Amino acid sequence: MPKKPLVIFTDLDGSLLDHNTYSHEAANDAMRIIEERKIPLIFNTSKTLAELLELRFRLNNKHPFVIENGSAVVIPPDYFEEVYTTWPQKVESIQGYQVIHFGLTYSQLLLKIHSIRNQLKFPFVGFSDMDVAGVQQHTGLSAHDAKLAKQRLCSEPILWQGSSVLFDQFQRCLVNEGLRVLKGGRFYHILGPVDKRMGVYWLKDHYHEQYYKSPVTTVSLGDGNNDRGMLEATDYAVVIPPENGIPLELSHFNQVIYATKKGPAGWQQGLEQIFGKTGIS
């Protein structure tokens, strides 16, 4: 048995879920061990609350999760004895779940973004400008999934329609307003001064103080640059090769495993090594 309880944080698309099929079949053996050992498996993703509620139901996951690239942590009803926050974190209740915001709310974010656009006429459209059909057109999602993706709480994907020089100017304006930009495959994601590590730190403290009443060992798995903060915040990290491009290189002092397989097969490969190191079988 491990000396300390494990808590596992994972990216979804391209990590636990196959980049093309969204299947997790290749990771089912590790998933079974996680469920049998009652190890908290925390989804830490760019997806929205609405998307995660549906996906968690499909995967039978009942643990907290982190949404929109670290912008907020979502806690199921009665999961922790007490949820404590510090200023300026904002807490709201949605469908019985407690949502702890680390950055701006969606309305606060849009106010800043649209003010910058209106003043300087930057050429972009965001999810807030599109109807469901528009999101479908630009993402390839079904109408149902596009509707879930539009239900945002803390970040705004935008489609840039100008030059790279103009984008650099736009990005400087965002930074001056305390905002961050993450590059995705097709969209840029604008969010507050947050990343995926914030949910790791917050939940690690709560598992220590409120759940296990003892220190925990943290593990993270991811394949993208937006996962770097999460991977560098845990005791063990599994870097999964991306579908396209060069795998991340981590420079932090924690123990890093570089999977050689992509997607859920790499997820399984990495966790097999983690389980060996921590005495889980």
Q: Which residues contact 128 (CB under 8 A, 6 or more apart)?
A: 110, 152, 156
Per the residue annotation, which of 11, 195, 223, 235 is the catalytic one?
A: 11
3-state SS assignment for residue 266 = helix
Report the 10 Å Cβ neighbour count for 207: 23
Catalytic-residue membership of 11: yes
What letter would DSSP give residue 252?
A: S
CA 233 from chain centre, in angstroms, equals 13
Taking the alpha carbons at both ends of the chain, their separation in whole angstroms is 9
Q: Cis check for the bond before 247: say yes or no (omega within 30 of 0).
A: no
Phi and psi torsions of 142, nearest 5°: -70, 165
Rounded Cα gap, residues 130 and 150, in angstroms? 9
**Whole-angstrom distance, CA of residue 48 vs CA of residue 46:** 7
Residue 64's SS3 state is coil
Rounded to whole angstroms, the Cα distance separating 16 from 207 reads 22
Residues 6+ apart with CB under 8 A from 211: 40, 80
Write phi, then psi, for 163 (nearest 5 degrees).
Answer: -80, 165
**Catalytic machinery residues:** 11
